[in-house]
Amino acid sequence: MTPRARRAPSTHRSACARRPALFIDKDGTLVENVPYNVDPARLRLMPGAGAVLARLAGAGFALVLVTNQSGIARGLFSHADFARLEQALRRQLLDASGVRLDGVLLCPHLPALDGHPACHCRKPAPGLLVRAAAQLQLDLARSWMIGDTLDDVEAGHRAGCRSLLFDSGGETQWRREPLRMPEHQVRHWAEVEALVRGADPAPGP
| pLDDT band at residue 16 using 50, 70 and 90 as cut-offs | low
Convert the pLDDT of each residue in 68-122 to its tens digit.
999 999 999 999 999 999 999 999 999 999 999 999 999 999 988 888 888 999 9
Q: Is residue 9 part of a domain?
A: no
CA angle, 118 then 74 then 170, to 5°: 75
CATH number of the domain that residue 173 is part of: 3.40.50.1000
Q: 27 pairs with which residues across the strands? A: 31
Q: Is residue 16 part of a domain?
A: no
Q: Could you say which of 27, 148, 151, 152 is catalytic?
A: 27
> Is 102 tagged catalytic?
no
| In a domain? residue 12 | no
Query: Domains in the chain: how many in total?
Result: 1
Catalytic status, residue 25: yes
pLDDT the model gives residue 5 = 41
Residue 14 domain-assigned (yes or no): no
* 15 within a domain of the structure (yes/no): no
Instruction: Give residue 75's domain range.
Output: 23-199
Position 41 scores a pLDDT of 97
CA distances from 120 to 17, 62, 124, 145, 181 (A): 27, 22, 9, 17, 21
**13 located within any domain:** no
Taking the C-alpha atoms of residue 152 and residue 73, their distance in angstroms, rounded to an integer, is 20
Give DSSP secondary structure letters for 105-140. EEE-PPBPTTSSBSSSSSTTSSHHHHHHHHHHTB-G
pTM for this model (two decimals) = 0.88
Percent of the chain with pLDDT over 90: 82
Inside any domain, residue 1: no
Q: Which candidate in 25, 139, 151, 152 is catalytic?
A: 25
Confidence of residue 187 (pLDDT cuts 50, 70, 90): very high
